[in-house]
Structure 1
């Protein structure tokens, strides 16, 4: 049977690819150019690979210190989010027939509709008074702010898991903790992958929360130190794009390594 080419879909995919690839091309070429080459022709390829931009950007941003700060904060947030949010969601999902837990569920979910700028200043004042205006406080806030969306996602997934599995484990002598960690948590692998990736991208790329929380230059994250290239009247785009590429690279690597888990999470979640 002869296969027909869907030309409309092919054209749409080509256009969509151009929208993604063209900005990437600009970032890479500008990062490799001198300011003179950028001024003469924005779209042209660089005359030579100018790696001095990367060296200068590393020195200006104290890149490796900022990278360490971002990595520690992001890893801590992802691990603690998966452990704590899944437990809270499990307690709510298995007790939704009780009014208290149903209220808690809607209470947490309603937090998704509260704009961050409304609570920004009170949060700054409160965390400062509690001595949490540091990376530890930042990790805590990421976990709390992610709770509403994560509970919404986890509860929907948990309610699709048959209770028979838990009842069988209880009959075999497992405690509530044993049921969660040995039966339920392994079954959450697909949704854990989804929550983990979204949390990782959010914590790594976030600018606003670190901006209002961190004042010590040695504690600043990668998105914060990129601001050094913004002048009052001009921006050094060549150095800025070099620094952006280095900050972006870890997330590209994470995506490539976790791609299988992401696809698995989507397909298994659909089957559930």
Structure 2
């Protein structure tokens, strides 16, 4: 009976995985089809596997330029988030006074605020900063990076905060006795020990920032500044949709994230579990 139950559970897990992966199958097989094949049978395999439509999709969506914009935004945003959030969490844990606890709770509280409730007021504020303070917050990669940092820091501080609590204070005291100042204590002793959480923050933020459509669509208006998700919108016209090119473009969009995730997925559970210590 136990063996039958185990087989049933495994069957259900496989079935759920197939259901979950089914949309990816649809996008993949239809990215190799012409429009006639696609409309004839969406589920069937293509008659021939040719990368012709991938080449057309790359040309239409200016893939290399969009890829470069997405890469700059993602790398710079995550680098700053990691540096600021790790230092902030470390100071919150090591000071551990009332002000630190209040500030930490403020960071945690901002995680539950939906972006949709603040996006229009935020755009008005950023427009005011552009017009009155001459700070290019709209239609610039720097402005989008700045906003990504603001939205991504809270979760990163939360994850780092739990892990820092598991680091013995005696290690930092020993480094201080050996002549290290606070800067060296953090970067040479504390930060290397935060590797699991850093990997988790990096993976989660790569998936979020790379695939984000809403915020870049509000901030970036120039074609030359479009990210990859914005570029895929070029296939969806007002009256016609080039579904085969759109499918190829979507595959080009998600492939870098899939590769990155598969190469680093082992750090996700490890980092989240480590960050949950002594919360």
Change (3 A) 1:164 1:81: same
Aligned to 2:161: 155
Cα distance between partner residues in 1 of 2:173 and 2:50: 64
Aligned to 2:63: 63
Residues 151-186 of structure 1 show CA distances to partners (whole Å, capped at 9, x for unaligned) of 111111111222111112112221111111111101
Name the TM-score, length of structure 2 as normaliser.
Answer: 0.90
Aligned to 2:243: 237
Aligned to 2:93: 93
Residues 32-55 of structure 1 show CA distances to partners (whole Å, capped at 9, x for unaligned) of 111111111111111112422112
Name the TM-score, length of structure 1 as normaliser.
Answer: 0.92
Cα distance between partner residues in 2 of 1:191 and 1:78: 13
Q: In 1, are the aligned partners of 2:162 and 2:277 still within 8 Å (CA)?
A: no
Aligned to 1:127: 126
> How far off its partner does 1:61 sit?
0.8
Q: CA RMSD in A?
A: 1.9
Cα distance between partner residues in 1 of 2:273 and 2:155: 20
Residue 38 of structure 1 pairs with residue 38 of structure 2 = yes
Aligned to 1:218: 224
> How far off its partner does 1:233 sit?
3.2
Segment drifting more, 207-216 vs 18-27: 18-27
Cα distance between partner residues in 1 of 2:153 and 2:198: 13
Cα distance between partner residues in 2 of 1:149 and 1:260: 20
> How far off its partner does 1:198 sit?
0.5
Cα distance between partner residues in 1 of 2:17 and 2:180: 51
Residue 200 of structure 1 pairs with residue 188 of structure 2 = no
1:1-272 pair list within 5 angstroms: 4=3, 6-96=6-96, 98-128=97-127, 129=130, 130-133=135-138, 134-262=140-268, 264-265=270-271
Q: In 1, are the aligned partners of 2:200 and 2:271 still within 8 Å (CA)?
A: yes
Cα distance between partner residues in 2 of 1:108 and 1:265: 20
Cα distance between partner residues in 2 of 1:117 and 1:260: 32
Residues 13-67 of structure 1 show CA distances to partners (whole Å, capped at 9, x for unaligned) of 2112211332222111110111111111111111112422112211211111001
Cα distance between partner residues in 2 of 1:106 and 1:269: 16
Cα distance between partner residues in 2 of 1:266 and 1:11: 28
Cα distance between partner residues in 2 of 1:268 and 1:151: 14
In structure 1, the gaps of 5 or more residues are none
In structure 2, the gaps of 5 or more residues are none
